[in-house]
A and B are shown apart, each in its own frame.
Chain A
Amino acid sequence: MQELQYPFDSRYLIKKKKSIKRQLLEQDVHFIDKKIAVLGGSTTHDICAIMELFLLDQGIRPEFYECEYAQYWEDVMFDNPELVDFKPDIIYIHTSNRNIRQYPLLSMSEAEVDGLLDADFDHFFKLWGKIESAYNCPIIQNNFEYPFYRLLGNADATDIHGRVSYINRLNERFAGYAREHKDFFIQDINYLSAAYGLDKWSDPLYWHMYKYALSMEAIPTLAHNVSNIIKSIYGKNKKALALDLDNTLWGGIVGDDGVENLEIGPETSMGQVYSEFQNYLKQQKDIGVILNVCSKNEEENAIAGLNHPDGVLKPDDFIVIKANWDPKSKNLADMAKELNLLPESFVFVDDNPAEREIVRTQLNVVSPEIGSVEDYIRVIDHSGFFEVTNLSADDAKRNEMYKENAQRAKLEASFDNYGDYLISLEMKGTIKGFEPIYMDRIAQLSNKSNQFNLTTRRYTRAEIEGIAGSDEYIDIYGKLEDKFGDNGVVSVVIGHKNGDVLDMDLWIMSCRVLKRDMEFAMMDELVSKARTAGIKTIRGYYYPTAKNKMVKDFYALMGFDLVNEDEEGNRTWEFKVPGDYENKNRYISVNQM
């Protein structure tokens, strides 16, 4: 919903939250349900209410648990049975500088201030440790915003007795904990409140009247931000940018003005601001965002513009360049198909409001109101499309992988026989039980895969670790390399044992390795492991979603028999593990490295 896109009108959202919620729930969306415990050190009512709107807009339907006023610590430490029964999927601890129990006094020695800091940190350290052991779920924790006054003026930041100094040190300790703990995420309200305006953020009226640690109007900013962390944890980040060229990546119209007259580079103010934007986009590649061009232009002119000597982005930085006169909605849909992505995984960036509106309404693709060129970075950045919660090595390499895919497509076209093409790829697979170094990637894949996904079950890293360490499961990951490069972990299979039956909980594969025999290689390994474990029957399940039609008959292809299908299209399949199983994979050499 456009009203919920940054830059949103906070007061409108506050006033209309009931009717907005109604509209969101009426949409034809397949929501995922998540239980979110909000443990506050201040009032949290409206934070939940507004957070709900942003989450619904991301396809997540939250159920909230709120602790009694300011009981964030007691609820966890003393096992409040209501919280225990709630079984949260995520715990969000919303505290603020109002919850710091004691600040340094000017009379304290350095050692005393250090002691105070240790005690304040320890209070939270114990809380997080207890959550990890008792709930084993992701934790989102606010750091602290700056105080709204400074007793020592500017020296508040340097003197160890200053509150600013104290909060800086405490925040650094929080960040250190986050670096060392998976499934622990800091919500940086220190930054958020600064960007918002600290005086407006911490208006004392809201604390003294209502016990809110921030003003009502700042709540949507807070809620939007935390919803971005949550959607990122559940794999709902955007994946790609589709960028217009003229007056978006440079000033001017390349077809009319000519390459030499474009505003890009250090010569003019306008040139500089476009350079900064191009630089920002180039950095997105490092976190795995795929860059593409979607422009109404002659292709020749588009390429010439991108080869401008002062440009930061070059044709080579993009995976797909669509420069023609077709409607942008069509180009974007084609682009998605070529990249094996869903259109909704894209963010469309265009200076022309009419183009934005067409793409939004035709494709349900997000396209921010980016404003004037000097606003572009802030709007895209604060939107949080690509919020990083789980940066894996694959992310940094993603653009490279898509490039390699384009080369594979070229090679494929040069062969008449598909089998010859597969042989020429010289594929090597590693197919094994879960290993510690891949836990992040396995969890990430389980949250990102929508199309080749039989059950659409999502797993956190902690759950993946639990499965890996248990005898009750057969768990397999598959990694695929070929002569063009390493695709990384691309397939995951999990089944749980039920006597001599194995019930399949998960079977997923990245679409970028479709039709490479990888699914057969996974099946071969599954059968081999099942046989070793004394399994007689493997039972497969297919649960239809809006996105996974492509695997409706997957188990038939693997040699399973359909034993049941209900009116909703849920299917159950069975495979009798034979004594003499012949491997189905013919092209990948498995575990030979």
Chain B
Amino acid sequence: MSREEIYVRLNEVFRDVFDRDDITVSDETTAADVEGWDSLIHITLMDAVEEEFDIRFDMKTVVKMKNVGEMVDYIIKGTA
């Protein structure tokens, strides 16, 4: 799966979780850039991303993740 393909699906997940159609994320996006992205909705988001890409984030990854780009890196590794 290419980075672009991942982003198409990832944006869909963000839109479902935040229930807003106008969200588009990119490598540099962090929680501070998306309104309502707090620690609580973060858990839902992680679960939804796991489901979408059929992967599992281990604790080390979750703790370190800085931005959406790193999430996509992990997805690429996990789905390769």
User: A11-B48, A209-B59 are contacts. A216–B43 as well, Cβ < 8 Å?
Assistant: yes
Interface string of A187-226 (1 = CB under 8 A from B): 0000000000000000001101110100011000000000
User: In the complex the two chains form, what is the Cα distance from A212 to B40 in whole Å?
Assistant: 11
User: In the complex the two chains form, what is the Cα distance from A212 to B16 in whole Å?
Assistant: 23
Instruction: Report yes or no: A208 in contact with B51, Cβ–Cβ below 8 A.
Output: no
- CB contacts (< 8 Å) of B13 on chain A: these are 15
Nearest chain A residue, comparing its CB with the CB of B17: A15
User: A14-B48, A15-B17, A22-B19 are contacts. A210–B43 as well, Cβ < 8 Å?
Assistant: yes
Q: Is B18 an interface residue (CB 8 A)?
A: yes
Task: Give the distance to chain A from B18, nearest Cβ to Cβ, in Å.
Answer: 7
Determine which of A15, A45, A206, A210 lies in contact with B48 in the assembled complex, contact meaning CB atoms within 8 Å: A15
User: In the complex the two chains form, what is the Cα distance from A210 to B62 in whole Å?
Assistant: 11
Q: Is A16 an interface residue (CB 8 A)?
A: yes
Task: Give the distance to chain A from B36, nearest Cβ to Cβ, in Å.
Answer: 10
Interface string of B44-74 (1 = CB under 8 A from A): 1001100100000011001100000000000
Nearest chain A residue, comparing its CB with the CB of B48: A15
Instruction: Report yes or no: B19 in contact with A46, Cβ–Cβ below 8 A.
Output: no
Q: Is A372 an interface residue (CB 8 A)?
A: no
Instruction: Report yes or no: B59 in contact with A208, Cβ–Cβ below 8 A.
Output: yes
Nearest chain B residue, comparing its CB with the CB of A19: B19
Q: Is A18 an interface residue (CB 8 A)?
A: yes
Instruction: Report yes or no: B16 in contact with A14, Cβ–Cβ below 8 A.
Output: no
Residue among B39, B40, B44 facing the most chain A CB atoms (10 A cut-off): B44
User: A208-B59, A209-B62 are contacts. A216–B16 as well, Cβ < 8 Å?
Assistant: no
User: In the complex the two chains form, what is the Cα distance from A16 to B48 in whole Å?
Assistant: 9
Instruction: Report yes or no: B19 in contact with A216, Cβ–Cβ below 8 A.
Output: no
Determine which of A15, A18, A22 lies in contact with B47 in the assembled complex, contact meaning CB atoms within 8 Å: A15
Residue among A15, A18, A209 facing the most chain B CB atoms (10 A cut-off): A15
User: In the complex the two chains form, what is the Cα distance from A397 to B70 in whole Å?
Assistant: 63
Instruction: Report yes or no: A11 in contact with B59, Cβ–Cβ below 8 A.
Output: no
Determine which of B16, B40, B58, B59 lies in contact with A15 in the assembled complex, contact meaning CB atoms within 8 Å: B16
Nearest chain A residue, comparing its CB with the CB of B58: A205
Nearest chain A residue, comparing its CB with the CB of B47: A216
Instruction: Report yes or no: A205 in contact with B59, Cβ–Cβ below 8 A.
Output: yes
Nearest chain A residue, comparing its CB with the CB of B20: A18
User: In the complex the two chains form, what is the Cα distance from A212 to B51 in whole Å?
Assistant: 19
Task: Give the distance to chain A from B79, nearest Cβ to Cβ, in Å.
Answer: 17
Nearest chain B residue, comparing its CB with the CB of A210: B43
Interface string of A36-55 (1 = CB under 8 A from B): 00000000011000000000
Task: Give the distance to chain B from A400, nearest Cβ to Cβ, in Å.
Answer: 49
Given A46-B43, A208-B59: 6 more A-B contacts, CB < 8 Å: A15-B13, A15-B51, A205-B58, A205-B62, A209-B43, A210-B43
Closest 4 CB pairs of A and B: A18-B19, A15-B48, A11-B51, A216-B47
Using CB atoms and an 8 Å cutoff, list the residues of chain A in contact with chain B. Answer: 11, 14-19, 22, 45-46, 205-206, 208-210, 212, 216-217
Q: Can you list 22 contacts pairing A with B, beta carbon distance less than 8 Å?
A: A11-B47, A11-B48, A14-B44, A15-B47, A15-B48, A15-B51, A16-B16, A18-B17, A18-B18, A19-B16, A45-B40, A46-B40, A46-B44, A206-B43, A208-B59, A209-B43, A209-B63, A210-B39, A210-B43, A212-B43, A216-B43, A217-B47
